[in-house]
Amino acid sequence: MKKGIFIVVEGIDGSGKGTQSQMLCDWLNEQGFDSVLTVEPTDGEIGRVLRKGLEKGSLKPASEALLFAADRVEHAGWIVAETDSGRIVVSDRYLQSSFAYQGAHGLDAKWIMELNRFAPVPDLLIILDIDPKLALERVNRRGGKTDYFEKLDFLSKVREIYLNQPDGFIIDASKPVEAVQVDIQRVVGSILKGL
């Protein structure tokens, strides 16, 4: 059986990661690939604790990084099993979120990497780029309460870190949803042709 691939979709809050990840997974399945969508933090025990802490804004950045890494241990095992079985795994957030968000809080990238040295490297990293002002407008339009890190100055720092990721394909996420998906499909399609 042919090994699957691991695709990660990243970006600041309001960039459309969830929507675009789901659309990509649906498109891959329509093309005849066996793909599955996942998200970080996960719905596992550690992921649920982490989500609660993020909602309350009660965690210190180092605690966030440690909990994300612990949640990722469980997640990484599942990702490897899925790709080993030939599936395409599409993840809404992954290790690059730790670099971006905890990095924007001032944590050292080398320390974050050391915590996550077990994590499989994605075959493809897609970064959805959007101006933080527009992203926050989107976040506010969807209603509900905002997370403590959904602030303009903080998201600007996060965006800067994302844009400096060495191996990511940067996609303009300010376009209409369908146009963003076309750009993503073009990148993913070119990777799939090479397999």
Alpha helices by DSSP H, listed for 11-105, are: 17-30, 45-56, 61-84, 95-97, 103-104
How far apart are the C-alpha atoms of 65 and 95, rounded to whole Å?
A: 10
Task: Please report the pLDDT score of residue 54 as a whole number.
Answer: 87
Task: Please report the pLDDT score of residue 38 as a whole number.
Answer: 98
Are 64 and 107 spatial neighbours (Cβ–Cβ below 8 Å)? no
Are 36 and 82 spatial neighbours (Cβ–Cβ below 8 Å)? yes
Radius of gyration in angstroms for the set of CA atoms belonging to the chain, rounded to a whole number:
16
Task: Please report the pLDDT score of residue 195 as a whole number.
Answer: 64
pLDDT digits (tens, 9 = 90+) for 108-163: 999 999 999 999 999 999 999 999 999 988 888 876 555 656 788 999 999 999 99
Residue 153: inside a domain: yes
Residue 148: inside a domain: yes
Residue 110: inside a domain: yes
Residue 1: inside a domain: no
Quick count: other Cβ atoms within 10 Å of Cβ 128?
Answer: 27
Task: Please report the pLDDT score of residue 6 as a whole number.
Answer: 98
HSE value, Cβ hemisphere, 13 Å, CA-based, for 33 = 25
| pLDDT tops 90 at residue 3 | no
Task: Please report the pLDDT score of residue 2 as a whole number.
Answer: 77
Residue 113: inside a domain: yes
Task: Report the CATH number at residue 81.
Answer: 3.40.50.300
pLDDT digits (tens, 9 = 90+) for 68-82: 999 999 999 999 999
Task: Please report the pLDDT score of residue 140 as a whole number.
Answer: 83
Are 168 and 7 spatial neighbours (Cβ–Cβ below 8 Å)? no
How far apart are the C-alpha atoms of 195 and 183, rounded to whole Å?
A: 19
What domain count does the chain have? 1
Are 115 and 69 spatial neighbours (Cβ–Cβ below 8 Å)? yes
Residue 59: inside a domain: yes
The mean pLDDT value for 171-183 works out to 97
How far apart are the C-alpha atoms of 41 and 34, rounded to whole Å?
A: 23
Q: What 3-state DSSP class applies to 116?
A: coil
Quote the percentage of the chain above a pLDDT of 90: 80
Task: Please report the pLDDT score of residue 144 as a whole number.
Answer: 57
Which is nearest to 59 in space by CA: 67, 70, 48, 69? 67
Residue 58: inside a domain: yes
Residue 101: inside a domain: yes
Are 59 and 67 spatial neighbours (Cβ–Cβ below 8 Å)? yes
Could you list the residue range(s) of the whole structural domain that residue 82 is in? 6-193
